[in-house]
Amino acid sequence: MKIGVQKRKRKKQYMKAVVIRSYSGVSSIEVRNDLSVPRVLEKNEVLIKVIAASFNDIDLKITRGYGRAIRSHLRKYNRHANDESTIILGRECAGIVLDAGTEVETVCKGDEVWAFSAYCMEGLMAEYVVVTEDRVTIKPKNLTFEEAASLPFTAIQVWNAVSHQAQLSSTSASGKRVLVHAGNSAVGLFAMQLLKSWDADVTTTVPTAGLPMCHELGANDIIVYTVTDFETELRKRQRFELVINTIGSVIHDLCVDICRPGGKIITFVTTPILSDKFGVFTGSLFALSVQAIAWIKKIKHGIFQFRWDNLSYDKEYLLRTVQLAEDRKVLPIIERTYEINDAVSGFHQLAQFENVGKMVLRLSQQENARYIMS
């Protein structure tokens, strides 16, 4: 009888993740423990054992269908996507590299890293995730995994606004009058620290709970909108060269009034995606026409200073943040850390929009961050 070598059957491995299976808002969020563990399938991919991830406002929008059309389109070509109805949440995480594709050069197995994901891509609130190399870097050495998980996506948002859109730098920002609305938010706190490290003159509006932290971070002028009429107070002050609006169109007219001629207003609140309403192809054409009309109006009226959320996912911003964090010029502000089984409670708290800084989700302990590919 011919004797052959029998191949060992690979045991299927599962992981926990925070997901939605419908676009019905926060009520659709759940923690699942039966999702397949992803593996490196492409030469430019990195497999990460996630130690911590963080909660982001954009995920609340995703639970209500934000980006659903383009996400559905991209998932058709994503070999890591789970079943069609399961969408993993989370825009940023920190963890340990377990495997990397043959063309990956900037990180390797065993590295402590942080990573981010675009709103239309698979999320990172899972025990194991795979990202492409352009979405991950070595994390700051002086930050814990929980601290590091709170920064990547927020940092990219702020750098994009301040450096790319407002075209400020460590030299040009010195002495500039900047207003940061909602300085207690994750975006507001990071923007304040970055601008203060550049010696800008920063004014911020905050609720009472945000006052101590903004004092500690060195804001030049703090308006507590829960105890005073912040619109009246802002109109009393010298106009600003840059207004960072984290609240939305409800205060756009105010932002225009308090911005000096030639200044810039950058609104972070994400605008509706036309493809969600009209489909990917038609929506893209419609978006191009809307942009063209907007630019014609701007040229006609000589208005160039208004910019709405136009995020560029540039890895370079993450590399700059590493240096700032290690120099202690920008540090994470964390209000609370949740365990993975309490993730739903964390999202309900996030939906109150009352936090000072970030909330973080712990998915694993560092000492247990081992993974055997069997």
Average pLDDT, the chain: 86
How does residue 71 score in pLDDT terms, banded at 50, 70 and 90? confident
Say what the pLDDT of residue 84 is. 66
CATH superfamily of 154-308: NAD(P)-binding Rossmann-like Domain (3.40.50.720)
**Strands 240-245 and 259-267, sheet pairing:** parallel
Say what the pLDDT of residue 310 is. 55
Start-to-end C-alpha separation, the chain? 30
State how far the Cα of 27 lies from the Cα of 30, in Å rounded to an integer. Answer: 8
Say what the pLDDT of residue 110 is. 97
Q: In this structure, which CATH number among 3.40.50.150, 3.30.70.3040, 3.90.180.10, 1.10.10.1100 belongs to the domain 14-151+332-368?
A: 3.90.180.10
Phi-psi region of 330 (alpha: psi -120 to 50; beta: other; left: phi over 0): beta
Say what the pLDDT of residue 177 is. 97
| Interval 315-354: pLDDT, tens | 999 999 999 999 999 999 999 999 999 999 999 999 998 8
The residue among 38, 154, 41, 47 whose CA lies nearest residue 107 is 47
- Sketch the domain layout of the chain as residue ranges: 14-151+332-368, 154-308
CA distances from 287 to 120, 206, 212 (A): 17, 34, 42
| Interval 99-155: pLDDT, tens | 999 999 999 999 999 999 998 889 999 999 999 999 999 999 999 999 999 999 999
Say what the pLDDT of residue 68 is. 87
Average pLDDT over residues 29-47: 96
Average pLDDT over residues 45-60: 97
Please, what's the b/e burial string for 51-83 (b: 16 or more CB within 10 A of its CB; e: otherwise)?
Answer: bbbbbbbbbbbbbebbbbbbbeebbeeeebbbe
CB 325 within 8 A of CB 142: yes
Q: What percent of the chain has pLDDT over 70?
A: 83
Say what the pLDDT of residue 301 is. 42
CA distances from 90 to 45, 85, 179, 254, 318 (A): 18, 16, 28, 33, 17
The residue among 18, 51, 272 whose CA lies nearest residue 123 is 18
Say what the pLDDT of residue 247 is. 85
How does residue 299 score in pLDDT terms, banded at 50, 70 and 90? very low
CB 363 within 8 A of CB 51: yes
Say what the pLDDT of residue 249 is. 78
- Please name the residues in contact with 234: beta carbons below 8 A apart, sequence gap of 6 or more: 179, 203, 205, 223, 254, 258
| Interval 216-274: pLDDT, tens | 999 999 999 999 999 999 999 999 999 999 887 788 889 999 999 999 999 886 666 54
Amino acid symbol at 362: R
